[in-house]
Chain A
């Protein structure tokens, strides 16, 4: 119902590597409005910046992909070495409104949003399901 009417106003994207992940919500005009470094590993000090850089570059992919697929969840739109970028578009989001969905809360805050797809054992990359706003 809303698939055809995707406006890219807000992307939630994330990005996970070995034990670390970066979760960002990107709003209208590709403006980042939320950023969180998650993951258990000891943080590399420059990781955040590199993550941002990679996510920003991935917006190029998103801009192409968002209009060619009706899927809202794009599990692996981009890869950078062993980093995977996945994206969830939210077409129901009204730009400017607050995110009030309790579903969102449970998924984001309680961390159930992380799943581990089978990418093999050692190099398994937890891919983030992300909630996504449009």
Chain B
């Protein structure tokens, strides 16, 4: 059967679609062929798949072939059996007949003959060529067709359909499609069953010696082909999968080692997507196929089906695995395969897969996750090709062009060298090439890293190439070699795993037994019997590769450094781009870094910097510092070359902030020098920079600094410097942020002068101006070094760990400063509330009470108000004040303060007033004290006594004096407390007089009542009266009638003295010394304490001994009124209406003036006799007067004439009030008699309630 392989191949390529045979009985095909082919392909065909489930196939193409066609006729039954898949799936019998007899006699027997073959699936298409207008013919045709149906259709299956060439045929084509589909389905089922049967039979013989894989393959692929023709790609794919499995089993069977293949020309180019690249006959070997070609063939078939199924991502994923596993197989045969065939094959395979999948993939058609996976696989394929390409490049001496990055190192240094049986030797005529290579090697000096970073470059070799290459040469023994090694030890060689960056399969392939014989006759004769030099190895490898590689593109890519780099960049970019698309940012970004390295090499620093930034951001973001330390210097160098000062400084700072172990102290110093130099260089603009990672800060440990509102202070802040050396800062400032108010930017505190930060911990002092109340945390530290403005946000981790939470990188912000809300820090109050003596020098006490705040050095400004003056001649006494009567607690507190060592044991002193201010002493800083200020309240006014006629007008304000106090205190006298203290001054007595008795002899007893106004005992030593005109003393000559002096008047009590006086009978006119009013003189003494109120005047107090005590004299004017002796006129207050007075109600008040006797003498001459001047006086607070207050009324001169004066007024207040009074200013008081004689009161009722808006109450 295997002999049919070639034929099978031809058959397969010659037919690609399902065939329907057309049995043209009535020569109709030329007529209908066009119509039939127009209705191709089948729109919807329900077929049965391998698992016997119906599957809808759309657009299934069918080829119609006449049974008489040579293609069908020439086949032998043997052939038909073998290649059954190409036999027709349906037979369409085309007939026409218009005559029933003809049908019965000729057509029907012929048809029976045709359809008797059971194997065929057939149906009859009756074609009617009759025009519909021809009724006769139409009828006849109908009859014939009816008969046809009766004869050939059965209940089970309709086998006839009718095509009217001239009529509408929509139904027919549907019918035809259904019938063809039915036939195809049935045939397909039968054939599938048949093939499966055959395959089963063969499979059962698998372990028998006669078993032949080729036969199995033909059957299996035939079945696959049947499915593929029927567009059942899924099933076809499964057949190929099974075939692959089966093949891999047989190929790995022990004892059946066969030729692997891979020696043909162009075998280095992967054909894994080209099923027809090699005819099967060429790869057949005994009863099987060569693995190298056949596995690629199978994969090609699979991928073809996958592309048909529109699953390019699956091609990618299967392809990737295939490349990996196939490369493993290549590894097994590496010793016999051409040099580096594996690498070349992998590169071409990856590129082929990439091309094919990319061209079949259209964005957005598949689900996002599948798309993502596809991109990821593309990325993997690119990086796989990239690694192999780098390996080839390295072998031919382009290693110097490969960046020794972690990625390249990880890829290459863990990837074993190729292991050819014999390392390629130098061709005889290559000496010039060797020289050139040597030159290149010598020229390629490894780039010194910026900042003088000394770091051993990462290796790109798994082990020293020199040794590996020489050891694998025939004539050398390993003993000769050590002198040419550089002594590096590498990863254990011989881990024969296939090298790919990522190997998903867990299967392992055993390393091939290493051939130690290395017996190649050619090499023995080689003149190069000494160890090869590196350049020679490169040249030899290059020559060997040229033999291996048939792909021109690849050859070109390896032909020069530029081409190599170009290809390398393409692969890297491809990988990066795809990884980015698949959201594998780490892979993508790392590859970006590789692109950056190439850009960097060519001086494209801007591109390089961009990519390096990304890499750095990735590593920094995830804090993989070791990796960051590798890339960051490169970025810095780019930035330096680009004159990106800010970026460069930032990079230097980032380098400094990395773990200390990552760079040597010398390197770190170099970073710092760069920063400082740049900062002080000629930069145009100041560069802002965040140095949070390098300079950190924290407040001092312990409780926060507490300040009162308005107080300045000093703040100690610990600043940690991460610089390796001392660094001088031009300025350093710190912001404080109020915790309660984050909107407001914090206030910046400046450190005093240029600061030098030592490495590690530094304590910086900041002057703190007065802050608003609240609690403050540290905000930002900013500062300047040259043109560099740096800022740091980060709190130190240097302090003790607060929590076990190792994940928290930022300590919770702790308040560093608390400024309390404004509160009373001190209180000033007057010590005494009771009245002091007016016009005498008195001590006024001012209590100074500090409230938990020191008054050290406080200054008190004292400013007396009008009517008060400080007695300068006396010092101001200051003494400790102990509150006795307030509460015990306070006094206890005082005691404790007193005991404290800071307050000296002093509690009184005399201070001098200087420019209206006094300075507090030290002892008074923290204790309450009292200041005694000698003052004198001045009043010109003479005290006036009161009587029932002249009542006392009390005026509180009269005795009131004020002292304005201003206390400046606090550290910088920044706190100010102002208060005005009031003091009440008064006369010692209030005097009231009344005449208690009139004796028959004309003497009157005048009682003078003394009401003490001060809170202290007054001792009346003497009293005398200076009388006014019209009065004379009685017997006692102005002294009280009885003397009980000294008379002690207790505080608030009354005492009285009685004088006898009498009216002066004869008016002694012309006496100059007569007084307008009487004066009462009282000589008294005062006891008392200044702490309680009125006391002895200051001068008396100071005058010394008690014996010389000075008596005080109090004078008070009293008014005495002579009785009316000669009444001419009488004024009578007329009765008020009976319903009384009411607030707001208008009333008329009337007086009647009556002349009692005729006017005579001088008075009558001077005045108009018939008129009287009147005046109404009323307290305007109580009354509103509506008429004329003052005016003349006519009153006849005759005795008994009378007139009534009336005035309209409104009472304003309710209660007993004095009514308006009528006086006659032109008439002497002694000539007017009043009725009632003295002041009287009237009752005013409150106003009536207004009921306008009130709801009546039930």
Whether A38 is near chain B, meaning CB under 8 Å from some CB there, is no
User: Chain B residues near A120 (CB, 8 Å)?
Assistant: 508, 510
Quick one: closest B residue to A76, CB to CB? Answer: B506
Do the beta carbons of A49 and B491 come within 8 Å of each other? no
Do the beta carbons of A44 and B627 come within 8 Å of each other? no
User: Shortest Cβ distance from B154 into chain A, in angstroms?
Assistant: 56
Do the beta carbons of A50 and B624 come within 8 Å of each other? no
Interface majority SS on B: helix, strand, loop or mixed? loop
Do the beta carbons of B584 and A82 come within 8 Å of each other? no
Do the beta carbons of A123 and B406 come within 8 Å of each other? no
Do the beta carbons of A82 and B627 come within 8 Å of each other? no
Whether B471 is near chain A, meaning CB under 8 Å from some CB there, is no
- Contact pick for B508, options A32, A42, A119, CB 8 Å: A119
User: Chain A residues near B499 (CB, 8 Å)?
Assistant: 81
- Contact pick for B491, options A28, A44, A53, A123, CB 8 Å: A44
Whether B1034 is near chain A, meaning CB under 8 Å from some CB there, is no
Do the beta carbons of B495 and A123 come within 8 Å of each other? yes
User: Shortest Cβ distance from A91 into chain B, in angstroms?
Assistant: 17
User: Chain B residues near A78 (CB, 8 Å)?
Assistant: 502
- Contact pick for A81, options B414, B459, B508, B630, CB 8 Å: B414
Do the beta carbons of A49 and B413 come within 8 Å of each other? no
Do the beta carbons of B502 and A80 come within 8 Å of each other? yes
Distance, CA A110 to CA B1057, complexed state (A): 115
Count of A interface residues, CB-CB < 8 Å: 39
Do the beta carbons of A54 and B511 come within 8 Å of each other? no
User: Chain B residues near A103 (CB, 8 Å)?
Assistant: none
Do the beta carbons of B586 and A119 come within 8 Å of each other? no
Do the beta carbons of B585 and A60 come within 8 Å of each other? yes
B window 577-617: CB within 8 A of A: 579, 584-587, 590
- Contact pick for A46, options B456, B805, B808, CB 8 Å: B456
A window 13-57: CB within 8 A of B: 17-19, 27-33, 42, 44-46, 48-50, 52-54, 56-57
Do the beta carbons of A98 and B806 come within 8 Å of each other? yes
User: Chain A residues near B510 (CB, 8 Å)?
Assistant: 120, 122
Do the beta carbons of A18 and B622 come within 8 Å of each other? no
- Contact pick for B501, options A31, A32, A44, A80, CB 8 Å: A80
User: Chain B residues near A53 (CB, 8 Å)?
Assistant: 406-407, 410, 590, 627
Quick one: closest A residue to B406, CB to CB? Answer: A53
User: Chain A residues near B489 (CB, 8 Å)?
Assistant: 42, 44
User: Chain B residues near A60 (CB, 8 Å)?
Assistant: 579, 584-587
Distance, CA A82 to CA B500, complexed state (A): 9
Do the beta carbons of B586 and A54 come within 8 Å of each other? no
Distance, CA A60 to CA B579, complexed state (A): 10
Do the beta carbons of A81 and B501 come within 8 Å of each other? yes
User: Chain B residues near A29 (CB, 8 Å)?
Assistant: 621-622
User: Chain B residues near A79 (CB, 8 Å)?
Assistant: 502-504
User: Shortest Cβ distance from A10 into chain B, in angstroms?
Assistant: 9
Whether B458 is near chain A, meaning CB under 8 Å from some CB there, is yes
User: Shortest Cβ distance from B410 into chain A, in angstroms?
Assistant: 5
Quick one: closest B residue to A57, CB to CB? Answer: B586
User: Shortest Cβ distance from B781 into chain A, in angstroms?
Assistant: 25
Distance, CA A80 to CA B158, complexed state (A): 65
Whether B1180 is near chain A, meaning CB under 8 Å from some CB there, is no
Quick one: closest A residue to B505, CB to CB? Answer: A79
Whether A113 is near chain B, meaning CB under 8 Å from some CB there, is no
User: Shortest Cβ distance from A35 into chain B, in angstroms?
Assistant: 9
Distance, CA A33 to CA B867, complexed state (A): 83
Distance, CA A122 to CA B619, complexed state (A): 36
Do the beta carbons of A31 and B622 come within 8 Å of each other? yes
User: Chain B residues near A17 (CB, 8 Å)?
Assistant: 414
User: Chain B residues near A50 (CB, 8 Å)?
Assistant: 406, 409-410, 413-414, 458
Quick one: closest A residue to B622, CB to CB? Answer: A30
User: Shortest Cβ distance from B468 into chain A, in angstroms?
Assistant: 17
User: Shortest Cβ distance from B803 into chain A, in angstroms?
Assistant: 9
Distance, CA A44 to CA B456, complexed state (A): 12
Quick one: closest B residue to A122, CB to CB? Answer: B511
User: Shortest Cβ distance from A84 into chain B, in angstroms?
Assistant: 9
User: Chain B residues near A83 (CB, 8 Å)?
Assistant: 414
Quick one: closest B residue to A117, CB to CB? Answer: B506
Do the beta carbons of B492 and A18 come within 8 Å of each other? yes
Distance, CA A81 to CA B506, complexed state (A): 12
Which interface residue of A50, A97, A120 has the most chain B CB atoms within 10 A? Answer: A50
User: Shortest Cβ distance from A98 into chain B, in angstroms?
Assistant: 6
Do the beta carbons of A18 and B495 come within 8 Å of each other? yes
B window 677-718: CB within 8 A of A: none
Whether A95 is near chain B, meaning CB under 8 Å from some CB there, is yes
Do the beta carbons of B508 and A56 come within 8 Å of each other? no
User: Chain B residues near A72 (CB, 8 Å)?
Assistant: none
Quick one: closest A residue to B497, CB to CB? Answer: A82
- Known pairs A57-B590, A98-B804, A120-B508; A49 contacts B501 (CB<8 A): no
Q: Mark B731-756, 1 if CB is under 8 A from A, else 0.
A: 00000000000000000000000000
- Known pairs A76-B506, A122-B511; A52 contacts B414 (CB<8 A): no
Distance, CA A52 to CA B590, complexed state (A): 13
User: Chain B residues near A49 (CB, 8 Å)?
Assistant: 406, 458, 626-627, 630
Do the beta carbons of A28 and B458 come within 8 Å of each other? no
Whether B660 is near chain A, meaning CB under 8 Å from some CB there, is no
Quick one: closest A residue to B618, CB to CB? Answer: A56
Distance, CA A80 to CA B503, complexed state (A): 7
User: Chain B residues near A119 (CB, 8 Å)?
Assistant: 506, 508
B window 407-423: CB within 8 A of A: 407, 409-411, 413-415
Quick one: closest B residue to A47, CB to CB? Answer: B491
Quick one: closest A residue to B502, CB to CB? Answer: A79
Q: Mark B648-685, 1 if CB is under 8 A from A, else 0.
A: 00000000000000000000000000000000000000
Do the beta carbons of B409 and A31 come within 8 Å of each other? no
User: Shortest Cβ distance from B868 into chain A, in angstroms?
Assistant: 72
User: Chain B residues near A42 (CB, 8 Å)?
Assistant: 489
Whether A59 is near chain B, meaning CB under 8 Å from some CB there, is yes
Distance, CA A62 to CA B496, complexed state (A): 27
Whether B367 is near chain A, meaning CB under 8 Å from some CB there, is no
Do the beta carbons of A59 and B586 come within 8 Å of each other? yes
- Contact pick for A96, options B619, B624, B807, CB 8 Å: B807
User: Chain A residues near B621 (CB, 8 Å)?
Assistant: 29
Distance, CA A122 to CA B501, complexed state (A): 21
Do the beta carbons of B623 and A32 come within 8 Å of each other? yes
Do the beta carbons of A56 and B627 come within 8 Å of each other? yes
Distance, CA A98 to CA B491, complexed state (A): 37
User: Chain B residues near A28 (CB, 8 Å)?
Assistant: 807
Do the beta carbons of B407 and A80 come within 8 Å of each other? no
User: Chain A residues near B459 (CB, 8 Å)?
Assistant: 46
User: Shortest Cβ distance from A36 into chain B, in angstroms?
Assistant: 14
User: Shortest Cβ distance from B390 into chain A, in angstroms?
Assistant: 13
Distance, CA A30 to CA B586, complexed state (A): 11
User: Shortest Cβ distance from B121 into chain A, in angstroms?
Assistant: 48
Quick one: closest B residue to A83, CB to CB? Answer: B414
User: Shortest Cβ distance from A61 into chain B, in angstroms?
Assistant: 8
User: Shortest Cβ distance from A127 into chain B, in angstroms?
Assistant: 10
Q: Which residues of B contact A (CB under 8 A)?
A: 406-407, 409-411, 413-415, 456, 458-459, 489-492, 494-497, 499-504, 506, 508, 510-511, 579, 584-587, 590, 619, 621-624, 626-627, 630, 804-808
- Can you show 24 pairs from A to B with CB atoms below 8 A apart? A18-B491, A18-B492, A18-B495, A27-B807, A28-B807, A29-B621, A32-B624, A50-B406, A50-B410, A52-B627, A53-B407, A53-B410, A53-B627, A56-B624, A56-B627, A60-B585, A60-B586, A76-B506, A81-B411, A83-B414, A98-B804, A119-B506, A120-B510, A123-B508
10 closest cross-chain pairs (CB), A and B: A81-B414, A53-B406, A60-B584, A96-B807, A79-B503, A30-B622, A82-B497, A31-B623, A60-B586, A50-B410
17 additional A-B residue pairs with CB within 8 Å, beyond A46-B413, A81-B411, A81-B497: A18-B495, A31-B622, A31-B623, A42-B489, A44-B491, A53-B590, A56-B586, A56-B619, A56-B624, A57-B590, A60-B579, A79-B504, A96-B807, A98-B804, A120-B508, A122-B494, A123-B508
Q: Which residues of A contact B (CB under 8 A)?
A: 17-19, 27-33, 42, 44-46, 48-50, 52-54, 56-57, 59-60, 76, 78-83, 95-98, 119-120, 122-123
